Amino acid sequence: MLNGISSLISPELLKILMEMGHGDEIVIGDGNFPAASMSARLVRADGHAIPNLLDAILALMPLDDFVPSPVALMEVVPGDSTVPTIWDEYRAIVARRAGEDVGIEHVERFAFYDRAREAYAILATGESALYANVILKKGVIRS
Protein backbone atom coordinates (compact mmCIF):
# COMPACT_ATOMS: atom_id res chain seq x y z
CA MET A 1 0.00 0.00 0.00
CA LEU A 2 1.13 3.55 -0.68
CA ASN A 3 -0.06 6.93 0.47
CA GLY A 4 -2.27 8.70 -2.06
CA ILE A 5 -2.96 5.64 -4.22
CA SER A 6 -6.37 4.03 -4.03
CA SER A 7 -6.45 0.45 -2.79
CA LEU A 8 -8.40 -0.29 -6.00
CA ILE A 9 -5.18 0.22 -7.96
CA SER A 10 -3.40 -3.12 -7.77
CA PRO A 11 0.39 -3.34 -8.13
CA GLU A 12 -0.13 -4.83 -11.61
CA LEU A 13 -2.44 -1.99 -12.67
CA LEU A 14 -0.06 0.63 -11.29
CA LYS A 15 2.77 -0.92 -13.31
CA ILE A 16 0.64 -0.85 -16.48
CA LEU A 17 -0.35 2.79 -15.94
CA MET A 18 3.31 3.71 -15.40
CA GLU A 19 4.43 1.81 -18.52
CA MET A 20 1.86 3.46 -20.77
CA GLY A 21 3.08 6.35 -22.86
CA HIS A 22 1.38 9.34 -24.42
CA GLY A 23 -1.37 8.14 -26.74
CA ASP A 24 -1.53 4.61 -25.35
CA GLU A 25 -5.01 3.41 -24.46
CA ILE A 26 -6.41 1.30 -21.65
CA VAL A 27 -9.82 -0.36 -21.84
CA ILE A 28 -11.91 -0.75 -18.71
CA GLY A 29 -14.30 -3.57 -19.55
CA ASP A 30 -17.52 -4.48 -17.81
CA GLY A 31 -18.31 -8.01 -16.68
CA ASN A 32 -19.68 -8.96 -20.10
CA PHE A 33 -16.71 -7.62 -22.09
CA PRO A 34 -14.59 -10.34 -23.80
CA ALA A 35 -11.40 -9.04 -22.18
CA ALA A 36 -9.39 -12.26 -21.98
CA SER A 37 -9.68 -12.96 -25.70
CA MET A 38 -8.66 -9.43 -26.70
CA SER A 39 -5.51 -8.54 -24.81
CA ALA A 40 -2.04 -9.85 -24.06
CA ARG A 41 -1.96 -7.43 -21.09
CA LEU A 42 -5.02 -8.33 -19.06
CA VAL A 43 -5.45 -7.03 -15.53
CA ARG A 44 -8.24 -8.50 -13.38
CA ALA A 45 -10.32 -6.28 -11.12
CA ASP A 46 -13.18 -8.66 -10.45
CA GLY A 47 -15.67 -7.44 -7.91
CA HIS A 48 -14.93 -3.76 -8.55
CA ALA A 49 -17.27 -1.26 -10.16
CA ILE A 50 -16.03 0.80 -13.08
CA PRO A 51 -16.96 4.23 -11.65
CA ASN A 52 -14.72 3.59 -8.63
CA LEU A 53 -11.87 2.34 -10.81
CA LEU A 54 -12.31 5.19 -13.29
CA ASP A 55 -12.04 7.72 -10.48
CA ALA A 56 -8.95 6.03 -9.04
CA ILE A 57 -7.24 5.78 -12.44
CA LEU A 58 -7.98 9.39 -13.40
CA ALA A 59 -6.55 10.53 -10.06
CA LEU A 60 -3.20 9.24 -11.39
CA MET A 61 -3.34 9.29 -15.19
CA PRO A 62 -3.73 12.39 -17.35
CA LEU A 63 -5.97 12.21 -20.41
CA ASP A 64 -4.64 13.14 -23.85
CA ASP A 65 -5.42 16.78 -24.59
CA PHE A 66 -4.11 16.56 -28.17
CA VAL A 67 -7.18 14.65 -29.36
CA PRO A 68 -10.81 15.79 -29.38
CA SER A 69 -12.07 12.78 -27.37
CA PRO A 70 -9.62 10.96 -25.08
CA VAL A 71 -12.54 8.99 -23.62
CA ALA A 72 -14.58 6.50 -25.66
CA LEU A 73 -17.73 4.62 -24.73
CA MET A 74 -19.28 1.65 -26.51
CA GLU A 75 -22.47 2.93 -28.09
CA VAL A 76 -25.74 1.09 -27.69
CA VAL A 77 -26.40 -1.41 -30.47
CA PRO A 78 -29.20 -0.18 -32.76
CA GLY A 79 -32.50 -1.72 -31.69
CA ASP A 80 -31.39 -2.27 -28.09
CA SER A 81 -33.58 -0.31 -25.68
CA THR A 82 -30.89 -0.11 -22.96
CA VAL A 83 -30.26 3.38 -21.59
CA PRO A 84 -26.77 3.35 -20.01
CA THR A 85 -27.27 5.63 -17.01
CA ILE A 86 -23.73 4.77 -15.88
CA TRP A 87 -22.48 7.16 -18.58
CA ASP A 88 -23.72 10.08 -16.46
CA GLU A 89 -21.46 8.88 -13.64
CA TYR A 90 -18.54 8.65 -16.07
CA ARG A 91 -19.14 12.20 -17.34
CA ALA A 92 -19.16 13.53 -13.77
CA ILE A 93 -15.95 11.68 -12.86
CA VAL A 94 -14.16 12.78 -16.04
CA ALA A 95 -15.27 16.39 -15.52
CA ARG A 96 -14.11 16.38 -11.89
CA ARG A 97 -10.75 14.70 -12.60
CA ALA A 98 -9.86 16.08 -16.05
CA GLY A 99 -12.12 19.06 -16.73
CA GLU A 100 -15.54 19.90 -18.09
CA ASP A 101 -14.30 20.27 -21.67
CA VAL A 102 -12.93 16.71 -22.07
CA GLY A 103 -14.47 15.09 -25.12
CA ILE A 104 -16.25 11.75 -24.84
CA GLU A 105 -17.04 9.86 -28.02
CA HIS A 106 -19.35 6.94 -28.69
CA VAL A 107 -17.94 4.07 -30.72
CA GLU A 108 -19.92 1.37 -32.54
CA ARG A 109 -19.62 -2.02 -30.81
CA PHE A 110 -17.39 -3.84 -33.33
CA ALA A 111 -15.24 -0.75 -33.91
CA PHE A 112 -14.85 -0.57 -30.12
CA TYR A 113 -13.72 -4.22 -30.10
CA ASP A 114 -11.19 -3.49 -32.86
CA ARG A 115 -9.83 -0.55 -30.90
CA ALA A 116 -9.70 -2.65 -27.71
CA ARG A 117 -7.55 -5.25 -29.46
CA GLU A 118 -5.01 -2.51 -30.17
CA ALA A 119 -5.08 -1.05 -26.65
CA TYR A 120 -2.03 -1.23 -24.42
CA ALA A 121 -4.02 -3.15 -21.78
CA ILE A 122 -7.49 -4.19 -20.74
CA LEU A 123 -8.78 -3.99 -17.19
CA ALA A 124 -11.49 -6.62 -16.65
CA THR A 125 -13.98 -5.64 -13.94
CA GLY A 126 -17.04 -7.05 -12.26
CA GLU A 127 -19.20 -4.13 -13.42
CA SER A 128 -22.75 -5.36 -14.09
CA ALA A 129 -24.11 -2.29 -15.90
CA LEU A 130 -24.64 -2.80 -19.62
CA TYR A 131 -22.57 -0.74 -22.09
CA ALA A 132 -20.25 0.24 -19.25
CA ASN A 133 -17.05 -0.27 -21.28
CA VAL A 134 -14.73 2.71 -21.57
CA ILE A 135 -11.42 3.46 -23.30
CA LEU A 136 -9.01 6.06 -21.90
CA LYS A 137 -6.19 7.61 -23.96
CA LYS A 138 -3.21 8.61 -21.84
CA GLY A 139 -1.89 12.14 -22.05
CA VAL A 140 1.16 13.91 -20.69
CA ILE A 141 1.82 15.41 -17.29
CA ARG A 142 2.35 19.15 -17.54
CA SER A 143 4.18 20.52 -14.56
Nearest to 73 by CA among 116, 23, 34: 116
130, 84 in Cβ contact below 8 A?
A: yes
Nearest to 137 by CA among 45, 107, 76: 107
The total of other beta-carbon atoms located within 10 Å of residue 10's CB is 15
The residues assigned a catalytic role are 22
Residue type for position 89: E
